[in-house]
Amino acid sequence: MRRTQPPELDITGLPENLPGNVHGSVKRAIVIGNGCAGAESQCFGLVRSLGLFDRHLYYSVARPRGGINRCLQWLPISLYKRIHHLIRSICAGFSIKATGIMDVFEVADAKQIATMARSTFDKYGPLLVVASGSDTISVASSIRRLAMENVFVVQVQHPRSRLERFDLVITPRHDYYSLTPEGKRQIPFFLRPWVTPREPPGRNMFLTTGALNNVDASTLRNATLAWKDEFALLSKPLVVVNIGGPTRSCLYGVDLAKKLLGMLHSILWSCGSLRISFSRRTPKKVAEIITGELSSNSKVYIWDGKDPNPHLGHLALADAFIITADSISMLSEACTTGKPVYVVGAERCTWKFSDFQKTLHERGAVRPLTGKEDMAEKWSYSPLNDNAEAAKRVIQDLAERGWKIEA
């Protein structure tokens, strides 16, 4: 087991000279991630909004990939570890090479973190723990169980069961779509006991509109400074197109790519510049269709996936966005800017994805792309403010325990 931590901080995550009444002051945080950028950025966004971004440690819960691990990836991490150990022991006993079983995988050690929280409490005060992703659930809940009087544990994204294991759970409102009248109509009666969540949100739940993210005013200001020179010569309006990939609740393929391509051709006259980015989930054929048709157009730039990633620069300096409906994270980030956001493929979304699209549309935050738009048109709405609202709830819950954030 290995721990990842910034070199400038010791195990406490604090410089030695922080002043104040430590017993009631939260001055340090730990982020527990699952290796997925979308999940981890939610944790970092919350920590940033709480003013603790420069005083946090990062731990990873990442299981091995490839080989037999593919067959075990849906198991809870605790059960996965037992099976992983059993397979290795059996293979060793019969002198068989455990093909596909990796020797080491990086895991946050709950006992070690809980021990650190207890042993340093008198000197450094309470420890804030923020985790996201299903693989982090057992680690985060164990930390709380082992050091309940010394930590405040926030689980981002719905853990599906036993919410009382955490001090606070932060999740989008559409995760409770299954409890709405419309959601219930889509679930056969005999399947309802197996659909989570089964109960309305409890006292330790906070519901957001979209996904938490690592984008705020400070992030956008810094991105503007970092990218303004590179974008300075681009003609306005600058339109950014973010293309994701199909999910179980938002299916599409080459057909939607061709439809999007036709609409982009139709609006190019009103774009000064068009910058296109694909995600890791974008099907190769979809990317090939878009790239093949538009890469030679002088108005169009297609990011090749190599560093530096222009994503934050796009958020800061774009005049409008066009985003496929499959990505809640990308839509949440774009709607945080208050700039026009056009959605492609929302009609193909079902279940909670459809409910999320409906919520954004009702807020006036998004419009469907039709291909008839003048991209120079400006329109406004109340930007999503989920990060700040979630941070406010954390501060409120800490105050109930007699604690406060000392940023």
Superfamily of domain 217-368: Glycogen Phosphorylase B; (3.40.50.2000)
Output Rg (C-alpha) for the chain, integer angstroms. Answer: 23
* pLDDT computed for residue 67 by the predictor: 62
Burial of 51 (0-12, 13-18, 19+ CB in 10 A): middle
Enumerate the domain spans of the chain. 22-62+106-209+388-405, 217-368
Q: Is residue 389 pLDDT above 70, yes or no?
A: yes
* pLDDT computed for residue 94 by the predictor: 61
Question: Which residues 6+ apart lie within 8 Å of 119 measured at CB?
Answer: none
CATH architecture of 22-62+106-209+388-405: 3-Layer(aba) Sandwich (3.40)
Q: Is residue 78 pLDDT above 60, yes or no?
A: yes
pLDDT tens, position by position, 246-277:
999 999 989 999 999 999 999 999 999 999 99
What percent of the chain has pLDDT above 90?
74
* Distance (Å) of CA 69 to CA 32, 137, 149: 21, 19, 37
pLDDT tens, position by position, 36-77:
888 999 999 999 999 999 999 999 886 666 666 666 666 666
pLDDT tens, position by position, 105-127:
446 789 999 999 999 999 999 99
pLDDT tens, position by position, 149-176:
999 999 999 998 899 999 999 999 999 9
> What band does 4 get if pLDDT is binned at 50, 70 and 90?
very low
Higher-confidence position of 350 and 98: 350
**What's the predicted TM-score (pTM) here?**
0.87
Quote the tokens at residue 60: 């990873």
